[in-house]
Structure 1
Amino acid sequence: MVISVSQSAAAAKVELQSPPRTRARNAALDHARTFLTLVVVLHHAVIPYTYFGHTDPSSFIGFDCIVLATDSFFMAMFFFLSGLFVWPGLKHKPPQVFLRDRLLRLGLPFAIAVLTLIPLAYYAIELRANPDASFSAFWWKTVTVGPWPSGPVWFIWVLLAFDLSACLLYQLSPTLLDPLNRLSLRGFDRPRVVFLFLVAVTAILYVPLRVYFGPNHWFEFGAFSVQSSRVLLYAAYFYIGAGIGAANFERGLLGAEGQLSQGGLPRWIIVTLIPYCLLWGLIAVKRLVLGNPPVQPDWYEAAYGLFFAVFSAGMMFCILAYFLNNRRSEFSVLDRMQADAYGIFLVHYPIVLWIQYWLFDFNLPAVVKASIAFVGTTLLSWGATWVLRQIPGAKNVL
């Protein structure tokens, strides 16, 4: 049976702030965040069939390549995309209205998910270890005794916390992010300036925490959890996104006529592949030279954290460059899924775990199992979201 390997992987649409009505929807960003939702589903669909999360008899080394890549960038990019629309939202809404909307859009789904969907998801894992366990007993133990994992929806409460902090900071100084916005203006012609700034800031914030906490430590309080080493990295992505989105959007990094939108994708791919290969090199050193110890030397964690920061930023720039350059192209599937992407993120986790539970005893290749899990989870999550959105008032939340 499968347990999603770090909850970060877990993954996640992720609720991305809706653009304010004063700005026309950006098709490229819509495509990017819907694409990332599918990446979240893929991430969870393949984890059991990897060396890292080998909880199924079948495995495939190619899935390790996927998980290493996805776990290293997609949650950070979700925070970046979410941050883009925070400052404009605060400009056009009184703080009490902004907070009410965030509580409705983030707080309510989080509360419902951790009380229903997440216990239902982990019940599939409990049955593998204890086939006679009843769901009611498992649910009561989860919410009273614990552990109470939040799965991928940890993202939602952390995003809500960032939104609340942004609301407070905006009240203190609406011009607080102007330096980041000026940096975005420079990024219109020279996106590498923003890239290097992002790498520098995230490396400074991430590497020391990774050395101190290690890669797998989570802060946990009931259903509230977050990966300790990454919390400041996520905050950096969120606030850099907020600074880029604060003003002058079309004259900044993500402008339609900017250099990032005009091509150069091959260069960003090369920039991204270098740290990715170096990450694999460090993994080989850990397994073949260090003997795969449970705790790595500080130099190892520092080097890994640096390559992680470069790869994470590079992947985000690759995805943004691709979708910005193809904003006028037809992405019919992504367009049709866009309205349901948040719901897919919320409901996919129990679906993928139960599909994997059902597949466990079948003697099938890992590629076949993962394909069934990915396609089945995507379609069922999409259908479930569509049904939920027909409930009166549900579209205000989902």
Structure 2
Amino acid sequence: MSLQAVNRQRVYFLDNLKAFIILLMVVFHVAMGYTTWDLKWWTVNDIQTHGFFDLFILETDVYIMPIMFLVAGYFAPMVLVKKGATGFWQDKLKRIIVPWVGGVLFIAPLVAYSTFYSRMDTPPNYLSFYRDGFWGPYYQQAQYWFLGLLALFFLVLTIAYQINPAYFKKSLQMSTPPLWFFPAFTLLTAASFFIINLFFWNDAWVNVKYLFMIQPVRLVLHLCYFGLGVYAWKHSWFTAGGYTPRLLTWGLAALIMLFVFLAYRVTFTLIPNVPVLAKVGHAFTHAAFSLTATFALIALFQRFFDSNAYLWRRLAANSYTIFFIHQCVIIPIGCTVQKMAINIWVKYIGVSLVTVILCFLLAEYVITPVLSLGKRNQHKNTQIHA
């Protein structure tokens, strides 16, 4: 089967998986406020905490971004081959670059400011904070760091396309990964994690000239998952006749690695001055759990959620907008309930549900119609001037 024929087959379950991961990201960010760790840099820390949220954060943080990068890597070559480098970057300029810059300049400062607003009776003047604090020790990119890193990976992909366009355009027979493929991938990502972890704390963030915010220990791992997505597209994985991960195999492996990873993480890495041998084990358990969880979820969604049903279609269509705005919804709701002494599970589930519903409603009925109206007006103006 040609790659062109494969590309015409819509992979609905990957769209739905991406939508699910973004919703999971929303409840993940809500949960950050309920951990027992007293995260002084987090937006809103609730007066109530529970150790469950520590474990939830530790395990969810492992596979959310690898799945996002893998899905991005899977779909990006389709657009690149179809539109060419110029058309590809015209699309990415509007969809990735401009939102990234806008988010960093106008929304990320509000996210950073909320760490003061939610803790102080008299927070600092916002304009002074924006000038001296945000562009100083409190600089961050909120969730928009993902867009910056994604743009960088798209650049790498484009350079590869320019160097060897035949690789992307030439048809290949569908192939199943050899037995050594996934163990080798695990070792590669574990080795990159371990080597960089020798120089950086495993959860450290680094500001690279105000352009990128990266987690050094995970940078190569994320690039590997983006490349794995490209490789999966090239070899027609997840399509009819292509490689299909088995749910039972990957699901059991992911369940086992979940307990192994959490036990190891809590026992050996939540301490200062982690020994080198403990870092080896952390790197391997992180890499193995990341891979097994990623492919278990891919297998689950391919088996049960390969659907173009209305709700999945609308969630997938609005997932990017939900990703973009969710912190703007979480923070005011979190501040409102922060000091309410009600059952922690009622509070967390309530905040999560309200946030998800509000994000979806805003995306579906406010932001998307406004953007669509702007596009229609721009199209009309273009036709008039033509």
Report if aligned partners of 1:99, 1:164 keep a CA contact under 8 Å in 2: no
Q: Distance in 2 between matches of 1:90 and 1:389?
A: 25
Aligned: 1:165 with 2:156? yes
Of residues 76-85 and 133-142 in structure 1, the stretch that sits farther from structure 2 once superposed is 133-142
Pair 240,310 (structure 1): closer, same or farther in 2 beyond 3 Å: same
* Paired AA for residue 248 in structure 2: P
Number of residues of Structure 1 aligned to a counterpart in Structure 2: 363
Structure 2 residue matching 1:59: 3-state secondary structure = coil
Question: Which position in structure 2 is the counterpart of 1:229?
Answer: 217
Q: 3-state DSSP class of the match of 2:213?
A: strand
Structure 2 portions without partners, runs of 5+: 40-44, 376-386
Deviation at 1:240, TM superposition (A): 1.3
Moved more, 161-170 or 21-30: 21-30
Other structure's SS at 1:225 match: strand
Aligned partners of 1:214 and 1:301 also within 8 Å: no
Amino acid paired to 1:206: F
Q: Where does residue 140 of structure 1 map in the other structure?
A: 131
Contact 1:113 1:153 in 2 (8 A): yes
Deviations 1:181-216 (A, max 9, x none): 78x7123xx7x6543343132122222112331212
- Number of the residue aligned with 1:271: 253
How far has the Cα of 1:90 moved from its partner?
1.9
Any idea what the Cα deviations from partners look like across 1:136-162, whole Å, max 9, x if unmatched?
333333454342211111000000000
How far does the alpha carbon of each residue in 1:286-312 deviate from its partner, in whole angstroms, 9 at most, with x for none?
Answer: 38xxxx532211111121111000000
Pair 1:274–1:210, CA change in 2 (3 A): farther
- Change over 3 Å in CA distance of 1:347–1:329 after alignment to 2: closer
The CA deviation at 1:331 is 5.6
Q: Is the 8 A contact 2:176 2:242 kept in 1?
A: no
After TM superposition, give the deviation of residue 79 of structure 1 in Å.
Answer: 0.3
Distance 1:299 1:118 in 2: 37
Max radius of gyration: which structure?
2
Q: How much has 1:178 moved relative to structure 2?
A: 10
Report Cα offsets for 1:217-266 as digits up to 9, x if no partner: 222032620101000000000011112113x52xxx312345636xx423
Tell me, in whole angstroms, the C-alpha distance in 2 between the residues paired with 1:20 and 1:156: 29
How many Å separate the matches in 1 of 2:192 and 2:165? 24
Distance 1:355 1:223 in 2: 30
Once the two structures are superposed, residues 9-61 of structure 1 have per-residue CA deviations (whole angstroms, 9 ceiling, x without a partner) of xxxxxxxxxx9995242111111111111110011011121234563331223
Instruction: Measure the CA separation in 1 of the matches of 2:158 and 2:190.
Output: 26
The 1:118–1:142 alpha-carbon spacing in structure 2 relative to 1, beyond 3 Å, is: same
- Alpha-carbon contact 1:121-1:351 (below 8 Å) kept: no
Letter in 1 for 2:185: L
Residue of structure 2 aligned with 1:122, choices 86, 90, 112: 112
> What aligned pairs does 1:267-346 form with structure 2 within 5 A after superposition?
267-286=249-268, 293-328=271-306, 332-346=310-324
2:30 and 2:261 mapped to 1: Cα distance? 22
Distance in 1 between residues matched to 2:308 and 2:51, nearest whole Å: 33
- 8 Å contact from structure 1 (residues 118, 350) kept in 2: no
- In the alignment, is the contact (CA less than 8 A) between 1:106 and 1:160 conserved in 2? yes
CA distance in 2, matches of 1:63, 1:350: 21
Greater per-residue helix proportion: 2
- CA distance in 2 between counterparts of 1:227 and 1:308 reads 14
Match of 1:256 among 206, 216, 240: 240
Partners of 2:342 and 2:5 in 1: how far apart? 48
Determine the structure 2 residue equivalent to 1:51: 36
Question: Residue in 2 aligned with 1:3?
Answer: none
**TM-score, scaled to structure 1:** 0.83
- Report the Cα offset of residue 71 of structure 1: 0.2
What is the TM-score with the length of structure 2 in the denominator?
A: 0.85
| Other structure's SS at 1:185 match | coil
In structure 2, the CA distance between the partners of 1:333 and 1:242, relative to structure 1 (3 Å rule), is same
Report the CA distance between 1:335 and its aligned residue.
Answer: 2.5
**For the structure 1 residues 150 and 202, does the alpha-carbon distance in structure 2 shift closer, same or farther, using more than 3 Å as the test?**
same
Distance 1:175 1:356 in 2: 51
Q: Is the 8 A contact 2:62 2:290 kept in 1?
A: yes
Cα drift, residue 172 of structure 1: 0.6
SS of structure 2 residue aligned to 1:72: helix
* 1:22-171 matched pairs, under 5 angstroms: 23-52=8-37, 55-132=45-122, 133-171=124-162
Q: Which amino acid aligns with 2:90?
A: R
Which structure 1 residue ranges, 5 or more long, are not aligned? 1-18
In structure 2, relative to structure 1, the CA distance for the partners of 1:328 and 1:127 (3 Å cut) is: closer
Residues 89, 98 of structure 1: 8 Å contact kept? yes
Question: Bigger CA drift: 343-352 or 139-148?
Answer: 139-148
Indicate the SS of the match to 1:364: coil
Q: CA RMSD in A?
A: 2.8
Distance 1:91 1:177, change over 3 A: closer
Code of the residue aligned with 2:146 in structure 1: it is F
In the TM superposition, residue 268 of structure 1 has moved relative to its aligned partner by: 1.5
1:200 counterpart letter in structure 2:
L
Distance 1:325-1:395 versus aligned 2 partners, 3 A rule: farther
Bigger drift between 135-144 and 55-64 goes to 135-144
